Amino acid sequence: MPDTQPVTRTLGVPGARLYYERRGSGPLLLLIGSPMDSTGFTGLAGALAGDHTVVTYDPRGIGNSTREDAGADVTPEQQAGDVHRLVSALGSQPVDIFGSSGGAVVGLALVTAHPGDVRTLVAHEPPVIELLPDSAEVRAQIEDIYETYRADGAEKAMGKFMAHAGLAGAAAGDADAPRWQPTPEQMARMQATTGQFLGHLLRPTTHYRPDIGALRAAPARIVVGAGATTKGQLANRGAVALAERLGTPVTEFPGDHGGFLAQPEEFARVLRRVLEETA
């Protein structure tokens, strides 16, 4: 059995200090989310640690990572700069990256700005709404969520977000589908992240427009992933739109938007196969 206990480190970057974890052995694989921190990848990282050196991290201002300007928005480009510095500190370029949701958007920004950092980017359900035919309508919905947060607080705004993203019904879901049950600590960490997400991450992340020309020209292989049960949801639609622009098929992963949470072993098998295709 691989040792899945992480070695923890911190890394100073401009305006922030990043917390990250490293476990396993083999080729380097970064698992990145936004706003999700490293704890959300614990199961997937453990499932991959037998044949990969898996690195997870907390984005600036999230979890155990800090930032100096807590009132400023955090853009995908800024987060990509953080990941670039983390990759440089690890000293193993190019690396494989699995990015989910906002983390997939960060991965796209990283390939655009630092194409030599990445061998394969698996972009799982990136909410790239600027590629959607109804982007103006969706953008207005995002703005309404933000204004609701400012006026009425996080609980009401998150209710709107879950509904607009198509996640409210998914939370009820199929009674037979595997479900992730967060621990009290994980629930507390997610609740602590809500303000950062609604106030400083949601709009910059969803307003990001991928540079399709730069992505096509980059040496990195980009695999676009989507959940098996998320058809029609906002992030799935973003994945489909991105894949169409890149001229690549969508790779189906088990479960929903966070399928790696409830089905880490099954998810790891698909991810491992995708990475082996590159090798």
pLDDT tens by residue, 205-252: 999 999 999 999 999 999 999 999 999 999 999 999 999 999 999 999
For the chain, first and last CA: distance in Å?
Answer: 24
The whole domain housing 258 covers 7-278
Q: What SS3 state is found at 158?
A: helix
pLDDT of residue 278: 64
pLDDT of residue 189: 72
Per the CB < 8 A criterion, the answer to whether 162 and 168 are in contact is yes
Question: CA-to-CA distance for 94 and 198, rounded, in angstroms?
Answer: 33
Q: Is residue 1 part of a domain?
A: no
Task: Check which CATH number belongs to the domain holding 118 and give it.
Answer: 3.40.50.1820
Q: Is residue 157 part of a domain?
A: yes
Q: Is residue 264 part of a domain?
A: yes
Q: What SS3 state is found at 254?
A: coil
pLDDT of residue 169: 60
Average pLDDT, stretch 14-23? Answer: 98
Q: Summarize pLDDT for 31-69 with one digit per residue, the tens.
A: 999 999 999 999 999 999 999 999 999 999 999 999 999
Is the confidence at residue 99, as pLDDT, over 90?
yes
Which sign does the torsion angle of CA 86, 90, 91, 95 carry?
negative
Angle CA 224–142–153, to nearest 5: 125
Which sign does the torsion angle of CA 73, 85, 214, 93 carry?
negative
Average pLDDT, stretch 164-191? Answer: 65
Q: Is residue 147 part of a domain?
A: yes
The gap from C-alpha 213 to its chain's centroid, in whole angstroms, comes to 22
pLDDT of residue 180: 55
pLDDT of residue 172: 45
Least confident interval from 5-9, 84-88, 110-114, 176-180:
176-180
Q: Is residue 204 part of a domain?
A: yes
Which sign does the torsion angle of CA 44, 155, 208, 86 carry?
negative
Q: Summarize pLDDT for 164-177 with one digit per residue, the tens.
A: 998 876 544 455 56
Q: Is residue 2 part of a domain?
A: no
Residue 2 or 100, more confident: 100
Is the confidence at residue 159, as pLDDT, over 60?
yes
Q: Is residue 272 part of a domain?
A: yes
Q: Is 194 exposed, middle or buried (0-12, 13-18, 19+ CB in 10 A)?
A: middle
Question: CA-to-CA distance for 197 and 130, rounded, in angstroms?
Answer: 19
Q: Is residue 193 part of a domain?
A: yes
Q: What's the total number of domains in the chain?
A: 1
pLDDT of residue 40: 93
Q: Which of 18, 38, 10, 143 is nearest to 80 (CA)?
A: 18
pLDDT of residue 167: 83
pLDDT of residue 179: 62
pLDDT of residue 93: 84
